Amino acid sequence: MNLWVMSGTYNGEHFASTHLTEKGAMKAMILDMLNFLGIECAEDQRSDPDTAKNPDLEWNPEVIGEMELPELKPLMQKYGEYTWDNDQGYSLEIVRCSLEA
């Protein structure tokens, strides 16, 4: 059985969450990035100089929760660009692993 682990680091602390689907791990990753960026409502998104350049980026957790994997991947990559160069040591990745009986 495949499992997907969303693994991250922030200020030297490691964290992880385990998901039954890649889609679940991707959603968790995007929501964690939104939290890191402080984007919690439309006003925050529009006031952030980086995300204001891309008003089409989805920020609403309810909408993200309904998205499919092909929609999530480009969204994750775009938000990843905003978190790539930070001085808090924040980074995320998704690792596929197997559960054996």
69 domain residue, yes or no: yes
State pTM to two decimals.
0.83
Q: Residue 13 falls within a domain, yes or no?
A: no
Nearest-angstrom CA–CA distance, 90 and 10 = 4
82 belongs to a structural domain: yes
In a domain, 28, yes or no: yes
Query: Could you tell me if residue 8 is inside a domain?
Result: no
Distance CA 33, CA 93 (A): 11
Give me the residue label for tokens 């995007």: 30
- Residue-level pLDDT at 43: 54
Q: Is 4 contained in some domain?
A: no
State in Å, rounded, how far the first CA of the chain is from the last one: 9
Domain count, the chain: 1
Is the distance from CB of 21 to CB of 68 less than 8 angstroms? Answer: no
71, part of any domain: yes
Domain enclosing residue 55, as ranges: 20-87
Distance CA 77, CA 92 (A): 11
Query: Splitting the chain (101 residues) into consecutive groups of 10 residues, what average pLDDT does each group show?
Result: 96 96 97 87 52 68 93 93 89 94 79
